[in-house]
Structure 1
Amino acid sequence: MQKILFVCLGNICRSPSAEAVFATKAAAARQPVIVDSAGTGNWHVGEAPYGPMQRAAKSRGYDLSALRARQFTAADFDGFDLIVAMDAVNLRDIERLRPLGNETPVELMMAFAPEAGIKSVPDPYYTRDFDEALDLIELASEGLLSRF
């Protein structure tokens, strides 16, 4: 069973959405996976996902309400088969924590949707475009799922 970790900055918008979207799509496809999410920063540890993100996700059938933010740690490299970063800054910050000799792959979320023509999922906490983030996460989740 694959274990996948989705990572963004604060773990209150993009990565919890990716966790919920991918888990939902994997369950529908009967693909057994374990998913989680984390943030590279510690500002929101223990908090629920951002209210506007929760509302946007819920309107598409994804419930984020039970999720709580946590910070990415070096131990996550050993706990997951794949780590998926929402943007290049998060990828860089994840790689800085990589233990010597660890080979867990770290990929950008949008690498699973090259047809979108962008490399990062824009942070809706700042852009306020929660639907765009969900559109991209859904698209990339389909691409990731197709690799199983």
Structure 2
Amino acid sequence: MSRAVTLGGFALFLLATAVLAGGVVLTSVGSAPSVTITDPDPRVLIGPDSPSEGTDGVVTCTSTGPPPGSYTVTGTVTLQRGDAGVGTAAVDLTVRVGNVFQTTRTVDLESIERVMLYEVTPADASIPPGQSIDVQITASHDGRTLDRTTVTVESRQVEGCFDES
């Protein structure tokens, strides 16, 4: 009888230890960081339909802006972590331009991070120059949305540089 009580007590001790350890693991893993999107400043730029006439695709000057036949989203956004999380958290930053395209990248976030936006995609004429378009920016962690903001911007066509020779 004494042996059965001892084994029962030991089994109870193991069960209690397993429950406590499982509770610690469950509460420390899977909790999403608290993230806020602030200061969104996206721009949607449209490249010329084709390279400048008479250049055969060769440009002899420095040009900025999107390549011919492309959309470019540029700008910045600030991600601010509001929780007292330990270490870095992998936050997925998704930028969606209307219904035209979206892109996602992962940002390792400790406390606050100013993120440069720079995405290029082939143009399909669905965004004409001067059109107002919504740019939606979403921060998520493990598929859970942490914050989302939408900014309406006016698309702008940027011409390449002109050969000055």
Q: TM > 0.5 between the two? A: no
For normalisation by structure 1, the TM-score amounts to: 0.26
Higher helix share: 1
**Higher-Rg member (1/2):** 2
Higher strand share: 2
